[in-house]
């Protein structure tokens, strides 16, 4: 069971960190079209699509795979993990699809799909972590760990709010100074609630292991 917690913790770190580097040939020039809003299209083109493909060197795909494997070790103890495991392939599909959209669509269809997939990806990530964290809390919750569990949930909620805000910052302002400043809040909240997870699991699992 300890292995499952470790894999989930590493997976969450991969999802929290975002280090983008350009890779591949530049996209063809994109122009705005009538009937969709110039400012909206310019935000999508410059902040979401960009000038060339980008890859996250701390890959979210690896993060999702680690979450899935960790949940697989723990699913027999709480069924909440099942929903998270079902959502993970969908999240990976969206992650890959976003990178492929500029090669398969143009104009209005491209812009709408990029915008929709961008925000849907955030919703899927938060939902996946929700059911994984819910399963962990259900396993570790006790009278002795209640305070630390509440701290964990506070840190997780702050991290998820930060992810939602960051998706808006990316959409409207791109990955500029504001994005990187606010990323520190996400990273800090993530490491805080993972620290609480470590404290809770160390306290609770020692007793569980003694019984086995």
Tens digit of each residue's pLDDT (9 = 90 or more) over 186-196:
999 999 999 99
Q: Range of 207's domain?
A: 2-211
Residue 211: its pLDDT value, please?
A: 42
- Measured between alpha carbons, how far is 9 from 207 in angstroms, rounded to an integer? 21
Residue 106: its pLDDT value, please?
A: 86
Six token digits for residue 60: 């979210």
Residue 132 CA from chain centroid, whole number: 12
Q: How many domains does the chain fold into?
A: 1
Residue 212: its pLDDT value, please?
A: 39
* Span 123-148, pLDDT tens digits: 999 999 999 999 999 998 877 788 88
Residue 1 vs residues 76, 86, 202, 203: alpha-carbon distances, Å = 10, 20, 12, 14
Q: Which residues of the chain, if any, have pLDDT below 50?
A: 209-212
Handedness of CA 124, 192, 20, 30 (dihedral sign): positive
Handedness of CA 102, 108, 113, 118 (dihedral sign): positive
- Measured between alpha carbons, how far is 9 from 193 in angstroms, rounded to an integer? 10
Residue 6: its pLDDT value, please?
A: 94
- 5 in helix, strand or coil? helix
Question: pTM to 2 decimals?
Answer: 0.89
Asked if 60 and 131 touch (Cβ cutoff 8 Å), the reply is: no
- Measured between alpha carbons, how far is 23 from 53 in angstroms, rounded to an integer? 6
Residue 160 vs residues 75, 118, 154, 166, 173: alpha-carbon distances, Å = 23, 15, 10, 10, 20
* Span 80-104, pLDDT tens digits: 999 999 999 999 999 999 888 888 8
């Amino acid at each position: 069971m300890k292995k499952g917690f470790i894999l989930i913790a590493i997976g969450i770190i991969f999802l929290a960190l975002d280090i983008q580097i350009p890779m591949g040939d530049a996209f063809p020039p994109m122009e705005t079209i009538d009937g969709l809003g110039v400012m909206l299209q310019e935000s999508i083109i410059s902040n979401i699509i960009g000038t060339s493909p980008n890859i996250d060197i701390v890959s979210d795909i690896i993060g999702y795979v680690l979450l899935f494997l960790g949940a697989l070790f723990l699913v027999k103890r709480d069924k909440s993990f099942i929903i998270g495991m079902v959502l993970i392939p969908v999240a990976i599909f969206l992650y890959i699809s976003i990178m492929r959209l500029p090669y398969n669509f143009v104009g209005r269809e491209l812009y709408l799909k990029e915008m929709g997939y961008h925000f849907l990806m955030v919703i899927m990530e938060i939902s996946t972590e929700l059911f994984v964290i819910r399963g962990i809390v259900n396993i570790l919750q006790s009278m002795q760990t209640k305070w630390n569990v509440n701290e964990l949930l506070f840190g997780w909620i702050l991290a998820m709010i930060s992810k939602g805000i960051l998706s808006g910052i990316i959409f409207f302002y791109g990955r500029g100074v504001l994005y990187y400043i606010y990323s520190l809040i996400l990273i800090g909240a993530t490491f805080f609630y993972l620290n609480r997870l470590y404290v809770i699991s160390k306290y609770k699992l020692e007793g569980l292991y003694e019984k086995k």
